Chains A and B, each alone.
Chain A
């Protein structure tokens, strides 16, 4: 019986038995992402295209036009554009699919070695079947999900790199089941007939459960035995695997998520609008049909002697019914068929510009940016959330040894190493003992394995890049780690080979945050070398190190401020007795049956004491070029960046700091690492409460007071799983969005996609995901826009992406330049397009009232056919492709220019209605002016001009001229091409019209070209030209006046920002430098942030990983062989448990210290003012009232004076708020900033008052960008002893008025609720914004306002 794959409940695979396996019809290893083949292309593609409502609609129209009673237009007026649209789309689809075929073929045709009938044969990937035994060689990609059977390495071990799957680049160990690992050679493997029964295909990367039945025995299989598709075999010569899942069933493919058809928000809006236009069209049709009914009854029936009704028509109602359909045909041009195709063409043009951009070309990897999807360009101008992978995206995944601290003559140096410090080199050369010990430590204390293929060609296999960097550094300073055995370490010290006896490895784990080795040197002295996080190591030093410790601490701070990962190195000399004693206790601990972990830890703890400080190292997790700058620019553009990484929390946080996502200015970095639903909920809740240990009046953190408080959120994968559950989703999103930076670590590929989805679901924003590995594929696919970083090893991400380039920093150009332009152009294009079609079509509507609603067109049918595709298409296309409002440099300099896109300001329903209104106005003018003039006019020869053909030609000419003038007004960037298109279109209109009205054509087809001579006769008349000129003037003058007024009185956002940014930028530069200095006093973040796995120490000492040939102590290995893997397994859960509260609190402690850091400037000011704890409340409130008029009257000097005072008081009251102001210059934004400061101060006051009062907060960014926000809130009781003190000088209404007067825009109100706090706590606001525009108010958008609220500058007060 066949069994359906979809209903697969368990999978049975028998090795080397294709016949048996074929019964189950498992998916083959062939991957198909393409949609069509040559035969199916035409029907399938047409079917898909006619699923588009618009296309079906036009087909329907075409059918209508074939009915003679209805047909008011010739069939070709519809079929020509429709055929054009369909064929252009088909060509594009075909090209896309061709490339998909190509990439599929490339993957499917990769070679792999498969055992077939006992022989190793080369097979293409697509021919690999489930149940096959395949051979893999070093550095090969795994072709399917394999069960590891045996490997060339001892004990069936093999190493893999899973970067494609989860982004982690450190090596992982896999081991085959012991019985199969003995199947050394091909013959044995060929006769292997074990049967695997396992779970059906799923997407869980870290889980596999199955059973191997072989020779009547059962063996349990786990993930530890699996090699997944997408991994790369490393440091293993060869291995054999049994294919369990193939092709689409592999975990990689299961994780890649569904391919979703991506549409831009403009697309969706366009579809809505098209539907509305349909509705409008039907309304028009109904109105005209009613008109027809009335007319036919009143007049038409009497007129029947001259024009009898058509035979099927027997009454006016039926006539009206036909008239309705006739008008639907005539008015169909309001839904412009060429719209879709023009949009596609424009997007294609933009995509080419992205491909062509030299500044997005990376010469190192020789890759240019590539727009792989051509349909999303304008959405690049609307991005609000960026989800970024870390490894390979933000970082280069290269660790470089950057700094070291303690106060080449080497043939083994690594040629790629570059670190130059001559004094250091000197001190090593002259034989400074301290320096030597330092490097000796680096060369000994690690778990790196070396491989020396030939003399001098050393390759280190480090399981974390950090360690590799350290050992390489030592190597380059002359302390070369050569090789190791389970009991020895051989190094070359300054050219002299030395072999140390390795006594013990005190392995790393997340709680210890350090590792040590105990070695005996050739002289017989025993020494413990330790390296680890400063937080843990500095406490374990010998007291005599105090002086050195201070110096080192300073240096550590410095390194930390630079975003480096630091380590502290120390050693301890052990006497023989001490060692003996300890090793005894260690052995006891090792053998202990219960609490082995704890006892081991205690043993380690015991020996790692009283150490001597050697120094510190700093390692740079090398960021890609320009990453911090890019992030800064993007966040200035109000784009939120979330980092989603599979890496450890420490690593992720570290990178967060080094790329300046996290800063020491941040009020608090929350770390969520709960394992249960309750703990996660609690932690999330604590974020909203933060330090205020009070009952919140209303928790709605959609708006947090990011103005003065900036939070960051770090969430672990296992907590994220809970947070993403349906009931906590909302809370998570609101919390996370209130934070300035969000870092999700240890997330699975699917979780990445879930995070993106949850944001998409809750916020109506455009999301962008950027990543480089296969683990990012699902995220890339589910985000609105997916960006792949190319040039790295894998191409999976690139293949799934919409855009690809090789450097993260190109993102800013992609978004701020290309995206912004695309959006701008698309919006301008759409506005104009709807305008021109309404202007064109509505003329028929007005004419209906004069022609008895008979569905007579105003224009010649050729004009109707060609208007959209010839006469007016090119100028608007040229504008849509080439237009620029500001040059690219400006967009990058002033990221705020990006905002209109996010707010969807340039094309929305309102803009659409304006365009429509303008179009209708134009149509009115275009109809009634010629109508009024011509109905009475004659030629100078006395021949009347009131004939239909003259009218048609006049109106058509006027229309073409008016829309050409309009496009000339809309075009902001006149290149040669624009000129050619505009003038060319006008020229083509006249030449085509003259050609169509020529006698040559008329003589051939008299019935088709009956307008013969109309163009000549009409356009020779001065009165016609006067009419056209008048119509043009009436159409254009109001538009011009409005545009001028808008630019003059209410400058566009881009203009304002351009101006204000210019002013601001001059002032911001010094602030930026201050920020850097400020970071110096920041927290230290070392935390031994290795991408490190514990257990390798044991692996080494057990000798398991050693080749038998190089193994010195075989017995040593056999003694431990059974235990280590088990230990490793047993340790696994604890390893993951390391993120539980103890470590979390440890990691969050630096963040706390940054709160105290921000206090410093405040206390400074309080000392200036002599503020004391005893300041009476009355005085405080008096000062407060003093600030009030300041706010309403906006007098900067008074506010300036008030603000510092206020803040001083705030401090004296113990309120931790960085409420202080840096007054801007004399310009009006500066005034507002001052107000802002004062308001914050007053917030703090009110916290102390047991009163309700109105508070407002004004964010400068909002003011400057014409979007205002103010907070009107009510503060809860705070200080039990404080008297009630109502303060309500600002009324919301008055406030709005003030805004209106000043900026011409009504302000928006935000009602806030203050979470009151006990003294010394931070006021926390929440609420909801009511905005004028129907924007989704996700969060406040003020990226750098923290800098505005910088420290008080005492000089300013004088």
Chain B
């Protein structure tokens, strides 16, 4: 290939004089000079600073309320705490989360212990779940579990009712929570589908399967109010099945429904109570449970880390920039000489 066939004579084997072969491709050779690096550092510092301040202001406008109710399960009666910290209106959309601490959804075997083929509605997988679901693959009678696996088995099953006691001492008004639309679009519409078999109902399709060991009711009866929210496409199940990356996490439970007064503007200031049906045991592994109420901005919920990190980065960059400038002014002469 190197020697072109057509050529002859003393230079027949002369390599091609192409820029590529002679390593003379036109090229840009950047060098770290003071002219480029120092302005870049100042620019970085400035932009991080601006971004940090902006984010901080944004974050300041969000509100958040956390309530740990782990101990509530230990007393027979209703557990009451008073939180007088926030007496302001929770403006805009208010989100209701349940939070778990020290619950490891991110263990390798836990995360693997599910069958996405089953959850996407494949009938073969429904009756014959993947071996990854072991040991939550069959019940004692040998019936296949649907949905199988450790993740589905451990689904969070506390339920909450939030009540508003008004500014005055009127009767408690239940706060309306939207329990749907709390999942990713792709999860609800692509990743999780109910198995279908002709015109059979969901219950009939699930015939021959067992409910997970810790479940109190089968998958097709998860939401008695809305038949479309049953089976694998139940929002709570989907939310749970999206495993958290870290042992402390919160998951969306519901969104404030703002159609009716007094919740049109958000959650008004006042007394609230949460009724918890306490089903999910966490104390045996030193876990904790929370309910979280929060508002969001374009940027998401309350998250102080990002703006502060930006501000710190900005300060450090500025410091480095100043040091570099000083160093350059004082000792940089060599560098300038070299560039000639």
> Residues of A with Cβ closer than 8 Å to B?
72, 299, 302-303, 305-308, 310-311, 326, 352-353, 355-358, 361, 363-364, 366-368, 821, 850-852, 854-857, 882, 884, 888, 929, 931-952, 972-978, 999, 1002-1003, 1006-1007, 1010, 1012-1013, 1016-1017, 1021-1023, 1026-1027, 1030, 1033-1034, 1037-1038, 1040-1041, 1043-1045, 1047-1049, 1051, 1055-1056, 1058-1059, 1062
Contacts and interface: CB of A to CB of B under 8 A. Distances in A.
A567 to B, nearest CB: 36
B22 A358 contact: yes
Contacts of B334: 1048-1049, 1051
Given A1007-B117, A1012-B190, A1013-B184, A948 B243 contact: yes
A743 B113 CA distance: 75
B240 to A, nearest CB: 11
A1056 B111 CA distance: 56
B207 interface: no
A220 to B, nearest CB: 51
A310 B109 contact: yes
A942 B244 contact: no
Interface residues of B, number: 106
Contacts of B190: 999, 1002, 1012-1013
Contact of B106 (A363, A850, A882, A1021): A850
Contacts of B44: 1033, 1037
A942 B324 contact: no
B84 interface: no
A946 B12 CA distance: 66
Contacts of A1045: 324, 327
Nearest to A856: B108
Interface string B229-250: 0000000000000111111111
A1021 B26 contact: no
B23 interface: yes
A1037 B48 CA distance: 12
B327 A1048 contact: yes
Contact of A1007 (B27, B130, B185): B130
Residue from B27, B30, B303 having most chain A Cβ neighbours under 10 A: B27
B273 interface: no
A302 B31 CA distance: 58
A1045 B320 CA distance: 11
Interface of B: 2, 10-17, 21-23, 25-32, 34, 37, 40-41, 44, 48, 51, 55, 93, 95, 97, 102, 104-111, 113, 115-117, 119-120, 122, 130, 132, 135, 150, 153-154, 182-187, 190-191, 242-252, 255, 281, 284-286, 294, 296-306, 309-310, 313, 316-317, 320, 323-324, 327-328, 331-332, 334-335, 337-338, 340
Contact of B247 (A850, A941, A1003): A850
Contacts of A888: 23
A980 to B, nearest CB: 12
8 contacts: A303-B104, A358-B17, A976-B25, A1007-B115, A1013-B186, A1017-B185, A1048-B324, A1049-B327
B12 to A, nearest CB: 6
A358 B24 CA distance: 12
B266 to A, nearest CB: 13
B337 A929 contact: no
B249 A935 contact: yes
A942 B301 contact: yes
B108 A854 contact: yes
A765 to B, nearest CB: 28
Given A366-B10, A1059-B337, A946 B244 contact: yes
Given A366-B13, A935-B245, A1013-B191, A305 B284 contact: yes
Given A940-B300, A1006-B116, A1022-B298, A974 B30 contact: yes
Contacts of A1049: 327, 331-332, 334-335
Given A303-B285, A938-B301, A1017-B186, A361 B245 contact: no
Contacts of A999: 186, 190
Nearest to B97: A944
Nearest to B301: A938
Contacts of A1047: 31-32, 335
A935 B302 CA distance: 11
Contact of B107 (A856, A942, A976, A1003): A856
Given A882-B23, A942-B95, A947 B244 contact: yes
B15 A363 contact: no
B338 to A, nearest CB: 5
A733 to B, nearest CB: 38
Contacts of B306: 933, 937, 1023, 1026-1027, 1030
Contacts of A302: 284-286
A1048 B122 contact: no
Contacts of A932: 305, 309
Given A850-B106, A946-B244, A1040-B37, A933 B303 contact: yes
A1038 B41 CA distance: 11
B14 A358 contact: yes
A942 B27 contact: no
Closest 9 pairs (CB-CB, A-B): A1013-B186, A356-B21, A951-B245, A942-B95, A302-B285, A938-B301, A856-B108, A974-B28, A975-B25
Contacts of A850: 106, 245-247
Contact of A1023 (B34, B105, B285, B300): B300
Contacts of B305: 932-933, 936
B309 A945 contact: no
Contacts of B32: 1040, 1043-1044, 1047-1048
A884 B26 CA distance: 12
Contacts of A1044: 32, 34, 37, 324
A305 B135 CA distance: 11
Contacts of A1003: 120
Contacts of B243: 947-948
Contacts of B320: 1037-1038, 1041
Contact of A944 (B37, B40, B252, B281): B252
Residue from A307, A935, A1026, A1034 having most chain B Cβ neighbours under 10 A: A307
A1041 B320 CA distance: 7
B186 A1016 contact: yes
A509 to B, nearest CB: 44
A855 B106 CA distance: 10
A946 B296 contact: no
Contacts of A1034: 313
A366 B25 contact: no
Contact of A1030 (B25, B132, B296, B313): B313
Contacts of A940: 296-300
B93 A1033 contact: no
A326 B108 CA distance: 10
Contacts of B21: 352-353, 356-358
B37 A1058 contact: no
Contact of A974 (B27, B249, B316): B27
Contact of B16 (A353, A356, A941): A356
Given A1033-B48, A1048-B335, A938 B296 contact: yes
A358 to B, nearest CB: 5
B108 A938 contact: no
A364 B9 CA distance: 10
Contacts of B97: 944
